[in-house]
Amino acid sequence: MQMTQPSNFVELLRDQAQRQPAQVAYIALKNGEKEDRRITYGELDQQARAIATHLTTQISLGERALLVYPYESGIEFITAFLGCLYAGIVAVPSHPPRSRYTLNDLSARLETAKAKAVLSTQSLGNKLKRQLSDPEIPASQMQLQWITPSALPIAEATDWKTPDINGDTLAFLQYTSGSTGTPKGVMIDHRCLLYNQQVLQQAFGHSDQSIGVGWLPLFHDMGLIGNALQALYLGTSCILMSPIDFIQKPIRWLRAISHYGATTSGGPNFAYDLLCKQVKDEQLDDLDLSRWQVAFSGAEAVKVETMDRFAAKFERCGFQRRAFYSCYGMAEATLFITGGEKAELPQVQYVQAEALEKNQVAVASPQQKRARALVSCGRPWLDGKVAIANPNTLTRCPPDQVGEIWFSSAGLGQGYWQQPDLTERTFQARLETGEGPFLRTGDLGFMLDGHLFITGRLHDVLVFWGLNHYPHHIEHTVSTCHPGFSPDCAAFSIPVEGQERLVIAQEVQRSQRRSLKAKDIAHKIHWVAFEEHFVDVHALALINPGGLPKTPSGKIQRSACRQQFLDGTLKVIDEWRSPPQMPTDIPGLMRYYFNPLNHLKRYIAQAQWP
């Protein structure tokens, strides 16, 4: 295991390759099941040097190179990424475009990064050339070097020269997920990268005996930094599979953990939900999850009911509930912000929903009506500090108040690529006392007993009748109230006759696409939302599976969903809107819902509920 801190990631890998050249670094699984390829530290170093040697003949030190690889090309992506670092070239990891929207996003990255080269496979590279030649695509006029690293002769490795880099040298541009706006390139230097690896090692309790399994996409910070590069930092092995292979057959993830005796693996909350639904009881006897020590959950809200279901289902396979590890991070912080203690259950805190709507924290009991269960995201590590700030007054919030989460650490990115004003506003925040600088995360939360609890996004908060509402709370209520609904739901507001009104866009299960009608279930949704959240639903849109706009990491893009709904471009199967005679004020809705005749109508509707 790496005990001394190198000054950059190239020194790190060079040292690992010299000390243990035969140690397996990565194992790639074909179709998420059979071994397709292995690569050792010695081979990894050799290929990185060969790629770097060629790159330096094509583009200059400090230039940007876009990395675009198919999901299943994990080892090829990693060697290309390391080849950029070995050449002093700034890597720009990008997702392979699968639609016109993602192609435009790729074009935007090429333009904003002012990339000079594209690294890819031969087949995908040829396809991208054709797609980007479309005159309607802005990047079509760019002069790019197209490079296929896997086709380069390995003999070029002997001509490699150590680049002039240090800890402050830019390693890569990590684009934000775009869940709340236009993706931005965060500048990550070598020092940030190494710092985050040290944090992960300590927070996860890793050693040179740790083994990782990862299906998260490598162009995403959690997959690249949390899975792939952590293995290099430790000098251990990581098993890679495509996220598509996981989604198509979720048990492949658990079988890989079982077969290789993985100690660390994880993903967003939805992945654990998917396993609970898709893995059959008769498949459990072949799984051994007893060596799984860190089942991290991040990138979206961690739900206590998901942990309960997963632990109950897979306990017979040796899974231990204390392996659950909730964490919180973002691209602007390179990756890690807070995390729990290894081998300790994530803390669950119940709070009063009514207080949250007023940005207040009031502890509740699990049995209390409208109690909300929040899972702790742990604490900051090393020199990390969290401040809960009032975003308007720039003062610290009292302990019983929700505020914006501000974070300071040596692991923060340098800022946004070529956006100095936005960088100053986001990365250089200071409290009224002058304390700082802090990163403004845009997330809302509070600290309780040293634990961070996240309640929502600053700019996603919906306001109806003067009360604050967190979209993900409403989304969870709606998506779980019908067996034909999928977990993917978006709650947002639109202006209607001068008022902001609530819209629900809900994906349905594939088997329910033709049978579900919005008007048949609108009353149920209307009532559940009113009863649980004291909100009035203006419109319900049933969406095709996969129809909601999402980031490459699977987060719902509420702003894009809202815009598509307004434009009429959302992939709607069926839609219901509140009739004009429906009351929209509180007294009117109270009369409507508690009128005996309407009660009778509701009970009839519930009796017909499938």
pLDDT digits (tens, 9 = 90+) for 21-41: 999 999 999 999 999 999 999
How confident is the model over 205-218, as a mean pLDDT? Answer: 95
pLDDT in tens, 344-356: 889 999 999 889 8
Domains 9-248 and 329-457 share a fold: no
Q: Does domain 9-248 have CATH number 3.30.70.2190?
A: no
What is the CB neighbour count within 10 angstroms for residue 394? 15
Single-letter amino acid, residue 547: G
| CA–CA separation, 457 and 354 (whole Å) | 18
| CA–CA separation, 188 and 185 (whole Å) | 9
Query: Is the pLDDT reported for residue 102 higher than 80?
Result: no
Residue 413: name the closest of 92, 185, 108, 109 by CA: 185
Query: Is the pLDDT reported for residue 593 higher than 80?
Result: no
Mean pLDDT for all residues in the chain: 90
pLDDT of residue 587: 53
pLDDT of residue 602: 42
| CA–CA separation, 207 and 236 (whole Å) | 9
Query: Is the pLDDT reported for residue 604 higher than 50?
Result: no
Backbone angles phi, psi at 169, to 5 degrees: -70, 135
Side-chain-facing half-sphere of 144: CA atoms under 13 Å: 27
Alpha carbon 137 to its chain centroid, in Å, reads 27
Single-letter amino acid, residue 255: R
Q: Which helix (H) or strand (E) holds 325?
A: strand 324-329
Which pair of structure tokens corresponds to residue 399?
């302990």
- Which region among 90-104, 296-310, 412-426 has the lowest average model confidence (pLDDT)? 90-104
How confident is the model over 61-69, as a mean pLDDT? Answer: 97
| CA–CA separation, 556 and 180 (whole Å) | 9
pLDDT in tens, 465-509: 656 687 888 998 899 999 999 999 999 998 887 678 899 999 999
Check the CA dihedral 544-550-552-553 and report its sign.
negative
| CA–CA separation, 7 and 336 (whole Å) | 20
Query: Is the pLDDT reported for residue 597 higher than 90?
Result: no
Per the listing, tokens 């995390």 go with: 339
**Secondary structure class of 34 (helix, strand, coil):** strand
Threshold 0.75, pTM exceeds: yes
pLDDT in tens, 396-447: 999 999 999 999 999 999 999 999 999 999 999 999 999 999 999 999 999 9
**Secondary structure class of 314 (helix, strand, coil):** helix
- Which region among 174-183, 216-225, 323-332, 400-409 has the lowest average model confidence (pLDDT)? 174-183
pLDDT of residue 1: 44
Q: Are 157 and 49 in contact (CB under 8 A)?
A: yes
Buried (b) or exposed (e) across 419-447, using 16+ Cβ within 10 A?
A: eeeebeebbebebeeeebebbbbbbbbbb
Q: How confident is the model at residue 268 (pLDDT cuts 50, 70, 90)?
A: confident
pLDDT of residue 303: 87
Asked if the peptide bond before residue 437 counts as cis, ω within 30 degrees of 0, the response is yes
| CA–CA separation, 183 and 534 (whole Å) | 33
DSSP 73: -
Per the listing, tokens 């912080």 go with: 333
pLDDT in tens, 106-152: 898 999 999 999 999 999 999 999 999 888 888 877 889 999 999 99
Which pair of structure tokens corresponds to residue 576?
């219901």
Domain map (residue ranges) of the chain: 9-248, 329-457, 462-607
Distances (CA, A) of 415 to 66, 334, 423, 551: 19, 10, 5, 21
Single-letter amino acid, residue 520: D
Query: Is the pLDDT reported for residue 608 higher than 50?
Result: no
| CA–CA separation, 594 and 590 (whole Å) | 6
Q: Which fold has domain 462-607?
A: GMP Synthetase; Chain A, domain 3 (3.30.300)
Q: Are 456 and 443 in contact (CB under 8 A)?
A: yes
Q: Are 123 and 151 in contact (CB under 8 A)?
A: no
Residue 211: name the closest of 200, 196, 227 by CA: 227
What is the CB neighbour count within 10 angstroms for residue 533? 23
DSSP 97: P
Backbone angles phi, psi at 292, to 5 degrees: -80, 105
329-457, which class in CATH? mainly beta
